[in-house]
């Protein structure tokens, strides 16, 4: 039986969204909107209806070179001349413009990614605006320090300066396109850097709208440049470019490795890499199940599982296992799949035919290997890339379904018996992005939190995100941290100035 899907009518589109889709799309280079690019154009589609939304320019090497030049000129010119309070002012203005255009941006984001527009309006778009406000605050608070030398303090007056790293490229994925754009641009600007943003080829639209808002906010030309294009052309050109001082990336671990190679072979540009995950949700039998069960479901089904920190491995203490698995499966069965502009939609489709194929074939392979499908397990609807919320059990913990990132609404559920057991199982992965621990015992919560190798640990909670809270991965989940002062420091170089003052 195929599941009932709530489709949307394109006539429900807001006037200002239709107007944006209807006008020619332009990339932004050095303050100029450019409609023609070397690679021609490519199509962005609505993954809910499988229909084309817009044609957008495909930037390649020539546009990358022009954008790097523009960003360099702004970095050494107008943006550098603007005092920190002025830079903060531009960032606050941009945040205000995002709030003023919230409903338009949310619907555009929904159409391009498939996610429900009401969720984008409540979460993705306001969070992006708050990240610009938060880092706008930091723009006036960047500072160095004075220090004493260890060996001859009387001889020298020493201080450090925190200086912007330079021209930054931001390469982002399609799961949270607008928010990711803010995560890359905002801390770089606060540090005094200039930016070239390359959105994912699947979701170029809100980045192009952001480019218009950047100009409206009054940033000097070249401070923020936006290039739509493919990863193997525009993305690779940025990663290999000698004029890019730092690249900040979110996406697959495979592409993260390619970018690290390109950096090593070019100018050793600095890198922040936010990569994949296979994050554990650990539920002890003494947890508050009324909270833990819905949270475990939201952890894997939210955004249709297309989340780097998705809680994709669920570990439940043996005595509570049946209750939890049944509870999560029931929630999955009750979730309403649908298109972005239908107000009743709770879960959107997967991003693309490629992602649907990838998720389906991983689940099929697991079934052939003897895994039990407790709920879901197949495509939903006859149109759109929908996949049912799925709960799997009885897998070999070393099999690919239990160890590889699926990036869909597919949960691998397992059981454990004691604290040592669970720490070893949770850490038995090449990833280390996040972990969620549910227990009524605070001592155990802290012990497990310390022992788990992950950059973010949430106790009796899941998915705590805040502009002031550092986020990033251990192991193959990446390099560096975003958000907070750590996220700002990622765009600063430390210069140590030693002045001889002794006789
Ligand atoms: P991807 O890693 O290929 O794409 C992310 C970004 O990297 C896009 O902007 C893309 O254009 C760019 N890119 C691709 N190749 C590049 C290259 N050689 N040099 C520079 N930039 C390049 O992700 P994809 O293929 O769309 O998704 C595949 C899998 O990646 C997913 O199934 C999921 O497992 C994982 N993924 C993880 C994300 C996360 O948030 N950690 C986000 C998106 C995907
Ligand atoms: Mg799209």
pLDDT over threshold 70, residue 1: no
Determine, yes or no, domain membership for 14.
Answer: no
pLDDT tens-place string over residues 325-361: 999 999 999 999 999 999 999 999 999 999 999 999 9
> Which ligand 1 atom minimizes the distance to the CA of 238?
20
Asked whether residue 271 falls in the same domain as residue 293, the answer is: no
Determine, yes or no, domain membership for 3.
Answer: no
CA 473 / ligand 1 centre spacing (Å): 16
Q: Please report where in the chains the tokens 């600063």 appear, as a residue.
A: 492
Residue nearest to atom 12 of ligand 1 (CA): 231
CA 264 / ligand 2 centre spacing (Å): 32
Catalytic residue among 90, 308, 339, 412: 308
Asked whether residue 290 falls in the same domain as residue 221, the answer is: no
Determine, yes or no, domain membership for 364.
Answer: yes
Residue 274 known to be catalytic? yes
Ligand 1 touching residue 276 (CB < 6 A): yes
Ligand 1 touching residue 240 (CB < 6 A): no
pLDDT over threshold 50, residue 464: yes
pLDDT score recorded for residue 2: 65
CA 341 / ligand 1 centre spacing (Å): 26
pLDDT score recorded for residue 3: 85
Asked whether residue 249 falls in the same domain as residue 289, the answer is: no
Determine, yes or no, domain membership for 18.
Answer: no
Give the chain's mean pLDDT: 97
Asked whether residue 32 falls in the same domain as residue 146, the answer is: yes
Region 115-120 average pLDDT: 98
Domain carrying residue 129 = 27-40+53-275+480-494
CA 162 / ligand 1 centre spacing (Å): 31
Asked whether residue 457 falls in the same domain as residue 484, the answer is: no
Determine, yes or no, domain membership for 90.
Answer: yes
Determine, yes or no, domain membership for 212.
Answer: yes
Domain count, the chain: 2
- Per-residue confidence band for 289, with pLDDT thresholds at 50, 70 and 90: very high
- Ligand 1 pocket test: pick from 250, 251, 363, 401 the residue with the most ligand atoms within 8 Å of its Cβ: 251
pLDDT over threshold 80, residue 462: yes
Region 286-291 average pLDDT: 98
Domain of residue 35, CATH code = 3.40.605.10
Determine, yes or no, domain membership for 499.
Answer: no
Ligand 1 touching residue 260 (CB < 6 A): no
Asked whether residue 326 falls in the same domain as residue 432, the answer is: yes
pLDDT score recorded for residue 245: 99
Catalytic residue among 63, 130, 201, 274: 274
Ligand 1 touching residue 239 (CB < 6 A): yes
Q: How far is CA 340 from CA 9, 48, 282, 348, 382, in A?
A: 10, 7, 32, 7, 17
Determine, yes or no, domain membership for 9.
Answer: no
Asked whether residue 69 falls in the same domain as residue 182, the answer is: yes
pLDDT tens-place string over residues 118-171: 999 999 999 999 999 999 999 999 999 999 999 999 999 999 999 999 999 999
Q: Please name which of 373, 362, 367 lies closest in space to residue 333, comparing C-alpha atoms.
A: 373
pLDDT tens-place string over residues 50-101: 999 999 999 999 999 999 999 999 999 999 999 999 999 999 999 999 999 9
Q: Are 287 and 439 in contact (CB under 8 A)?
A: yes
Asked whether residue 211 falls in the same domain as residue 95, the answer is: yes
pLDDT score recorded for residue 83: 98
Token pair, residue 262, equals 């390109």
The answer for residues whose C-beta is within 8 angstroms of residue 322's C-beta and 6 or more apart is none
pLDDT tens-place string over residues 384-412: 999 999 999 999 999 999 999 999 999 99
Asked whether residue 355 falls in the same domain as residue 221, the answer is: no
Q: Please name which of 454, 410, 413, 411 lies closest in space to residue 436, comparing C-alpha atoms.
A: 454
Asked whether residue 368 falls in the same domain as residue 268, the answer is: no
Asked whether residue 285 falls in the same domain as residue 259, the answer is: no
Domain of residue 288, CATH code = 3.40.309.10
pLDDT tens-place string over residues 256-275: 999 999 999 999 999 999 99
Asked whether residue 202 falls in the same domain as residue 338, the answer is: no
Instruction: Give 3-state DSSP helix, strand, coil % of the chain, rounded to 5.
Output: 45, 20, 35
Residue nearest to atom 10 of ligand 1 (CA): 231
């Amino acid at each position: 039986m195929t599941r009932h899907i709530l489709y949307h009518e394109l006539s429900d589109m807001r006037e200002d969204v239709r107007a944006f889709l209807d006008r020619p799309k332009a990339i932004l280079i050095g303050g100029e909107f450019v409609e023609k690019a070397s690679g021609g154009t490519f199509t962005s589609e609505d993954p809910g209806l499988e229909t084309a939304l817009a044609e957008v320019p495909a930037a390649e090497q020539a546009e990358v070179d022009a954008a790097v030049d523009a960003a360099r000129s702004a970095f050494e010119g107008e943006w550098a001349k603007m005092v920190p309070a002025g830079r903060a002012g531009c960032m606050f203005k941009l945040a205000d413009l995002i709030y003023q255009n919230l409903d338009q941006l949310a619907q555009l984001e929904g159409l391009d990614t498939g996610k429900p527009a009401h969720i984008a309006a409540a979460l993705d778009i306001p969070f992006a605006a708050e990240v610009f406000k938060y880092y706008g605050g930091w723009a006036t608070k960047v500072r160095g320090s004075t220090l004493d030398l260890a060996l001859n303090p009387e001889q020298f007056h020493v201080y450090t300066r925190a200086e912007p790293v330079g021209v930054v490229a931001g390469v982002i994925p399609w799961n949270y396109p607008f928010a990711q754009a803010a995560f890359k641009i905002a801390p770089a600007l606060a540090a005094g850097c200039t930016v070239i943003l390359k959105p994912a080829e699947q979701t170029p639209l809100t980045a192009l709208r952001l480019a218009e808002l950047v100009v409206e906010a009054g940033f000097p030309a070249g401070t923020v440049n936006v290039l739509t294009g493919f990863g193997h052309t525009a993305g690779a050109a940025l990663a290999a470019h000698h004029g890019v001082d730092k690249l900040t990336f979110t996406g697959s671990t495979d592409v993260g490795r390619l970018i690290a190679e390109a950096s090593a072979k070019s100018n050793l540009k600095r890198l922040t890499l936010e990569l994949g995950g296979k994050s554990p949700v650990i539920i002890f039998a003494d947890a508050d199940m009324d909270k833990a069960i819905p949270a475990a479901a939201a952890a894997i089904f939210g955004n249709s599982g297309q989340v780097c920190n998705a809680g994709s491995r669920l570990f439940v203490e043996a005595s509570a296992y049946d209750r939890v698995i049944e509870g999560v499966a029931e929630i999955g069965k009750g979730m309403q799949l649908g298109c972005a502009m239908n107000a009743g939609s709770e879960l959107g489709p997967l991003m693309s035919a490629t992602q649907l194929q990838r998720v389906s074939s991983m689940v099929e392979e697991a079934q052939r290997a003897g895994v039990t499908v407790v709920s879901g397990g197949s495509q939903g609807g006859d149109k759109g890339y929908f996949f049912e919320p799925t709960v799997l059990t009885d897998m070999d913990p070393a099999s690919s379904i239990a160890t590889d990132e699926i990036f869909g609404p597919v949960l691998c559920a397992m059981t454990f018996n004691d604290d040592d057991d669970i720490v070893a199982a949770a850490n038995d992965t090449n990833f280390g992005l996040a972990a969620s621990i549910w227990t009524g015992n605070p001592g155990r919560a802290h012990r497990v939190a310390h022992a788990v190798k992950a950059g973010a640990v949430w106790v009796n909670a899941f998915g705590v995100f805040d502009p002031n809270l550092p986020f990033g991965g251990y192991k193959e989940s990446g390099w560096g941290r975003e958000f907070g002062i750590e996220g700002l420091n990622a765009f600063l170089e430390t210069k140590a100035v030693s002045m001889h003052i002794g006789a």
